[in-house]
Structure 1
């Protein structure tokens, strides 16, 4: 019983680190999907920012920018993944996608 009580904080820290890594992976996936959706919408003349924001879970609060060019449209999504482990900062995730502009 004493050994388990001494080892419990380490187990909790390892578990929280695994959850944090999972959240970061989820944030990377969400940012990539949002960048593709924003670039696709902006390349077709629609509002890329709205499309990118709609493609992300609301609790991640993304910052979406989509710039339509003559040949290609590039969208960039930046979001903050909150920290699960106390005293650690949140993680900033940024993804970019490029699509050909429809004429």
Structure 2
């Protein structure tokens, strides 16, 4: 038996064990790659939601500063359609300026994590 191993020959029993080990290692690596990919997608969704909240707050504040009574609909229309349902606005009126805060719900691809809404506010002078 020792002579066979020195010559590079393997027993059938050893080859079967190696194949099973390789399958288990592959499954473990695949799981880690899947989690890393989902985390990268989630990070992109968070960044995109923050960007959309900034765009919505600027657009709504611009409309509100021009005394547009539909400022909330204007801000809503500036958000991507698939994020628009989770968007909310608050207006803080003033005499010389108006401030609008937009909140966009961050979608989650990893079900065990729950993220806060992305918030951005913009202040514009009244016209």
User: What's the offset of the Cα at 1:67?
Assistant: 3.4
Return 5+ residue gaps in structure 2 as ranges: 1-21
> For 1:40, which of 50, 62, 69 is the aligned residue?
62
Cα displacement string for residues 25-63 of structure 1 (whole angstroms, at most 9, x for unaligned residues)? 000000000000000000001122111111111322200
Higher-Rg structure is 2
Structure ranking higher in helix proportion:
2
Q: Quote the residue 2:38 is aligned against.
A: 16
Secondary structure at the aligned position of 1:20 is classed as helix
| Equivalent residues, number | 102
Secondary structure at the aligned position of 1:82 is classed as coil
TM-score (norm 2): 0.74
Secondary structure at the aligned position of 1:52 is classed as helix
Q: Quote the residue 1:79 is aligned against.
A: 104
Q: Which has the higher contact order (CA 8 A, sep 6+)?
A: 1
Q: Runs of at least 4 residues of structure 1 off by over 6 A?
A: none
Q: Which moved more, 1:31-40 or 1:88-97?
A: 88-97
Return 5+ residue gaps in structure 1 as ranges: none
